[in-house]
Amino acid sequence: MGALAVSGADAKADYARLAKAIEVKELNTLMFAKSSDVNLGKLEAFLKAHAKAVEREKVLYLRAYMKWSLHRYAVAAPAYAALLKEFPKTKFLRIALIREAAAHLFNGRADLALPRLRAIERDYFDRPEMFSREMAYALSLAGKQKEALAFMDRVEFQMKLAGKGRLLPRISSHFDKIRMVGKPLKNFKVKDHRTGREISPAALKGKVVLIDFWATWCGPCVADLPLVKATHQKFSKAGFEVFAVSLDDDEAKFEKAIDARKMDYLHHYDGKKWKNELAVLYDVHSIPANLLIDRKGIVRAVNVRGNALMRVAGALMLEAR
């Protein structure tokens, strides 16, 4: 199927057909649909045909949502911005604000994410659970680690004082990763799955290293693999290493995946899933997750995703040995 056929006259009827075609589901201020290039074309056709329709609010949101779901963060950010510009009081306001900022982060542009996040903080100062994770990552990635540390301490104190302690564990798990930045890599000794070679912080020193926690069953992890591989291919000859830590528990499936995808770098697999020894050591409770280590064995960034990986890794590669 190509772009959705629209009459141009009856926006309500056209939207009903569109919603059915792309399998829209609504839940209060959330909407979901089947993300694909074909369905993006249908959304664009509706927007072109109906320049004034009230249904544009939902269609603009769905367009941004699809680009986000397809991990196209460079175009997701302006798509959310377009929704916010046309409908500044949209019912999707909070998620659109956060997703726009997060899309900038995943595209390696903490400088663009920070102004949006600071505006969110001003407007929702009593709702730090809404934006604090993204703010902490943006500050850290922008080289403002001291400010990130002070911000995280303040948020944790504020949330405890406000009786929101039950919301803290998930947020603090991200904060704890960010607090690793600037510190030496925790010590470990494991073997590369393919060669049996020992892998440890000492063995990795002298290289810029991405420790990437992933699994074959993790959709976002698999979606990030092309960028991980591209970064490895670009910098490996100059001393960049990827060390992939699998949280799979099916060895045959794991081996088939790394062979089929030509993931020609270091791997650790112990079949213990969430109890993987390195996942336990680094307190990993959700994936994708990663650590970027400099040549001296110091953690320099955490949970770097999307195009940000190439940017941050590239900057570390330029640093003196």
d(CA 267, CA 211): 10
d(CA 142, CA 105): 10
Tokens of 285: 């409770």
Which tens digit of pLDDT belongs to each residue from 246-283? Answer: 999 999 999 999 999 999 999 999 999 999 999 999 99
Using CB atoms within 10 A of its CB, is residue 25 exposed (0-12), middle (13-18) or buried (19+)? Answer: exposed
Q: Model-level pTM?
A: 0.88
d(CA 127, CA 22): 33
| Phi and psi torsions of 169, nearest 5° | -55, -45
d(CA 93, CA 74): 20
Q: How many CB atoms are closer than 10 A to CB 296?
A: 12
Fold of 11-105: 1.25.40
Tokens of 101: 């900022």
- Nearest CA to 292 among 228, 210, 224, 231? 210
Q: How many CB atoms are closer than 10 A to CB 15?
A: 21
- pLDDT per residue, tens digit, the chain (321 aa), is 444 555 556 899 999 999 999 999 998 888 999 999 999 999 999 999 999 999 999 999 999 999 999 989 999 999 999 999 999 999 999 999 999 999 999 888 999 999 999 999 999 999 999 999 999 999 999 999 999 999 999 999 999 999 999 999 999 999 999 999 999 999 999 999 999 999 999 999 999 999 999 999 999 999 899 999 999 999 999 999 999 999 999 999 999 999 999 999 999 999 999 999 999 999 999 999 999 999 999 999 999 988 889 999 999 999 866
| CATH hierarchy code of domain 190-318 | 3.40.30.10
| Phi and psi torsions of 255, nearest 5° | -65, -40
Domains of the chain, by residue range, sit at 11-105, 108-178, 190-318
DSSP 187: P
